[in-house]
Amino acid sequence: MEKGIGIAGVAGRMGQLLVEEVRTAGAPLVGGVDRTEAGPAGVRRFADMAALAAASDVVVEFTHASSAVDHAAAVAEAGAAWVLGTTGLSAEQEAAVAAAARRVAVVQAANFSPGVNLVLALAERMAAALPGDAYDAEIVEMHHRQKVDAPSGTAVAIGRAVARGRGVALEDVRESGRDGHTGARKPGAIGFAALRGGQVVGEHTLLFAAGTEHIALTHRAFDRRSFATGAIRAALWVRGRPPGLYSMMDVLGMG
Ligand code: NAD
């Protein structure tokens, strides 16, 4: 790595862990950007994303969805690879990420933990084996009270994996946030429920419920450091790759 790794959102919960993980990996840390001045000591602060991207081989970003469009343009313009962990992106913000990935290498994942990526692979295979007219797929997630988006990016990624396994588009079968007189469950629907409270790092259960049996797959994250470790692994993997939109599955060799 010639220049090193930059961190966007360096003062945040994930940003601070990312600084530690870069140091643990022995990789050069370029510095970071954040909206607030607080944050880890001994890390050089840049004026904006454009300046950080110009100084870095790879920028690892965990900030807020509202930053995605500007930051996508900044990394593409600077020619820096981008590891993006921010969740809750709109269709327009996702399109900006895809546009950047035509010019630079981008690893985007709703969840950088290796265990969750295994759940995604298994979810697709289970859904292919368990027909939607007999097995109702429901995804239940719980997160800490500070989380601002719902359902979680990971829950949506599990839903997409189930949809892929069944050869349908998630948007056509998604049922989120049921409340009031919703009518009966539609055959083949993929349902989402989100719980918020306490300091839960992240829990996801994928349930297939049939008349005769239930099958559930649960992942519990106890420490968000697993996301930071995975994101830095992605940063070391992505440097020097050709432009494209890569997933954590690609990084782990499961793509
Ligand atoms: P946080 O609020 O603790 O930190 C976010 C930081 O980003 C804050 O310090 C904020 O000041 C900064 N920020 C916001 N907009 C910015 C901008 N335009 N430029 C520079 N800095 C900016 O939140 P967090 O818990 O660290 O999570 C951040 C994001 O990462 C959320 O979207 C969360 O859902 C997501 N997340 C993803 C994964 C994953 O594995 N993909 C894991 C954990 C969290």
Question: Quick check: CB of 225 below 6 Å from ligand 1?
Answer: no
Q: Do residues 129 and 143 share a domain?
A: yes
pLDDT for 192 equals 98
On the question of pLDDT at 14 being above 70, the answer is: yes
Strand 81-84 relative to strand 5-8: parallel, antiparallel, unpaired? Answer: unpaired
Q: Do residues 206 and 228 share a domain?
A: no
Which atom of ligand 1 is found nearest the CA of 149?
A: 34
Q: What is the mean pLDDT of residues 118-146?
A: 96
d(CA 87, CA 154): 9
Q: Do residues 244 and 217 share a domain?
A: no
Per residue in 19-35, pLDDT (tens digit) is 999 999 999 999 999 99
Question: Quick check: CB of 151 below 6 Å from ligand 1?
Answer: no
On the question of pLDDT at 130 being above 90, the answer is: yes
pTM for the structure as a whole: 0.84
CA of 187 to the centre of ligand 1 (A): 37
On the question of pLDDT at 154 being above 70, the answer is: yes
**Gap between the terminal Cα atoms of the chain:** 24
Q: Do residues 211 and 166 share a domain?
A: yes
Q: Do residues 176 and 83 share a domain?
A: no
Question: To test ligand 1's pocket by mutation, which of 36, 62, 152 has the most ligand atoms within 8 angstroms of CB?
Answer: 62
Q: Do residues 203 and 242 share a domain?
A: no
Q: Do residues 15 and 34 share a domain?
A: yes
Q: Do residues 91 and 214 share a domain?
A: no
Per residue in 65-122, pLDDT (tens digit) is 999 999 999 999 999 999 999 999 999 999 999 999 999 999 999 889 989 988 999 9
143 among known catalytic residues = yes
Task: Please give the tally of structural domains in the chain.
Answer: 2
CA of 154 to the centre of ligand 1 (A): 15
Per residue in 180-222, pLDDT (tens digit) is 999 999 999 999 999 999 999 999 999 999 999 999 999 999 9
Note down the domain range covering 47. 5-112+224-251
pLDDT for 110 equals 87
Q: What is the mean pLDDT of residues 6-19?
A: 97
Q: What is the mean pLDDT of residues 169-176?
A: 97
Q: Give me the CATH number covering residue 20.
A: 3.40.50.720
Question: Quick check: CB of 110 below 6 Å from ligand 1?
Answer: yes
Average pLDDT, the chain: 96
On the question of pLDDT at 143 being above 90, the answer is: yes
Q: Give me the CATH number covering residue 136.
A: 3.30.360.10
User: Residues 6 or more apart from 49 whose CB is under 8 A from it?
Assistant: 8, 33, 59, 67, 70, 71, 74, 75
Question: Quick check: CB of 93 below 6 Å from ligand 1?
Answer: no
Question: Quick check: CB of 237 below 6 Å from ligand 1?
Answer: no
Q: Do residues 98 and 126 share a domain?
A: no
d(CA 247, CA 112): 9
pLDDT for 1 equals 66
pLDDT for 39 equals 83
The band of 16, judged by pLDDT with boundaries at 50, 70 and 90, is very high
Q: Do residues 105 and 173 share a domain?
A: no
Question: Quick check: CB of 137 below 6 Å from ligand 1?
Answer: no
Question: To test ligand 1's pocket by mutation, which of 36, 64, 143, 232 has the most ligand atoms within 8 angstroms of CB?
Answer: 64
Note whether 8 and 33 are within 8 A (CB): yes
Q: Do residues 179 and 239 share a domain?
A: no
Which atom of ligand 1 is found nearest the CA of 87?
A: 32
Q: Do residues 207 and 140 share a domain?
A: yes
Note whether 83 and 251 are within 8 A (CB): no
Which atom of ligand 1 is found nearest the CA of 231?
A: 40
